[in-house]
Amino acid sequence: MNVLVVGGAGYIGSHCVRQLLAAGHRPVVLDNLVFGHRAAVPADVPLYPANLGNEKEVGKILRKEKIELVMHFAAYAYVGESVTDPLKYYFNNVAATLHLLRCMLGAGVKKFVFSSTCATYGTPEKMPITEDTPQVPINPYGQTKLDMENTLKALARAYGLSFAAFRYFNAAGAAADGAIGEHHDPETHLIPLAFDAASGVRPPLQVFGTDYPTPDGTCLRDYVHVDDLSRAHIAVFDKLATPGAALFYNLGTGKPTSVLEVIKAVEKISGRKVPYVAAPRRAGDPPALYADATKARTELGWVIRYPDIESIVATAWKWHEAHPQGYAAP
């Protein structure tokens, strides 16, 4: 299929572009390059540096490229910033997505794959988290994603839009060949921050909370490889052939890993010590978040190829060693 990858120059989107090519599809990238990187997009993949609010331009792209399905990754995702600047998040994550969906329906494109998040669940009372766990977001970022999930359900009923919403846990890792990887500015993800601390590029890593009711006192999270995430998005395509399909899937390994376990994995793979300091808990950080992804495995045949933290860290380290400054010019 001809697939428009919105945010296809970003971390997860760019990995999905490569997986689409490997699966025989034709990706087209739409990315305003505010956070995305042109270098992350293969040279032979069309790249349109457009904004979603420009409906005239987006509509032209959909028609010109004969787009049959849209994958949407272009969201702001800094939880803390969403608390201090919620308007920014509602404009981008909700309003801009509504512009995109209106363009799609106007162009007759009714297949949509949406990047959602486990942040829609807030602080669940039980682990692991299933798709039926109550969704009670505790920050505007999670709320904007839930708002779009509810919007998509309404569009499915009213217009026959078929969609899949994937609720990610902690995306991590890099392409196996080291060609593309994770480069955020500012960087907030644990693994690249640990690499930089080990390399002396940043100060010692801050471990937020060492007194949680977990085996080693640090938070437990579910780290899932970015290529595993990407393949799940493609595995759902056949199910979107049914008009009005409304599908929701958790994407995680189901294996909780602590902050200290991530640090140990980084030290083992890199051969370098990760200096760190204990810091107070961050407000709103639950002790544990990990997925029950049985639904994705059974309905989509989704197979996790990177089931443990060391295999994930190894791919991330390969990218980091080859690109110590990320996509920035040396």
Report the pLDDT value the prediction gives residue 42, as an integer from 0 to 100.
Answer: 97
Q: In this predicted model, what pLDDT tens digit does every residue of 254-277 receive, in sequence order?
A: 999 999 999 999 999 999 999 999
Report the pLDDT value the prediction gives residue 284, as an integer from 0 to 100.
Answer: 74
Q: Pick the catalytic residue: 76, 141, 168, 212? A: 141
Q: In this predicted model, what pLDDT tens digit does every residue of 277-322 receive, in sequence order?
A: 999 998 778 899 999 999 999 999 999 999 999 999 999 999 999 9
Q: What is the pTM of this model?
A: 0.96
Task: Answer whether 2-172+223-251 and 190-222+255-290+307-321 agree in fold.
Answer: no
Fold of 2-172+223-251: Rossmann fold (3.40.50)
192 cis-preceded (ω within 30 degrees of 0): no
190-222+255-290+307-321 maps to which CATH number?
3.90.25.10
β-strand partners of 205: 276
Q: Which residues of the chain have pLDDT under 50?
A: 330
Torsion of CA 193, 265, 276, 256, to 10 degrees: 90
β-strand partners of 131: none
Q: What percent of the chain has pLDDT over 90?
A: 95
> C-alpha distances in angstroms, 207 versus 173, 281, 284, 286?
20, 8, 15, 14
Report the pLDDT value the prediction gives residue 145, as an integer from 0 to 100.
Answer: 98
For every residue of 223-273, DSSP letters joined together read EEEHHHHHHHHHHTGGGGGSTT-EEEEEES-S-EEEHHHHHHHHHHHH-S-
- Spatial contact of 168 and 118, defined as CB atoms under 8 Å apart: yes
Report the pLDDT value the prediction gives residue 282, as an integer from 0 to 100.
Answer: 85
Where do we find the tokens 């601390």?
A: 197
Closest to 212 in 3D by CA, of 309, 281, 118? 281
Catalytic: 89? Answer: no
Give domain limits for the chain: 2-172+223-251, 190-222+255-290+307-321
Q: How far apart are CA 330 and CA 22, in angstroms?
A: 30
Report the pLDDT value the prediction gives residue 97, as an integer from 0 to 100.
Answer: 98
Q: How far apart are CA 137 and CA 253, in angstroms?
A: 22
Q: What percent of the chain has pLDDT over 70?
A: 99
> C-alpha distances in angstroms, 302 versus 26, 173, 231, 249, 296?
21, 18, 8, 11, 6
Report the pLDDT value the prediction gives residue 330, as an integer from 0 to 100.
Answer: 42
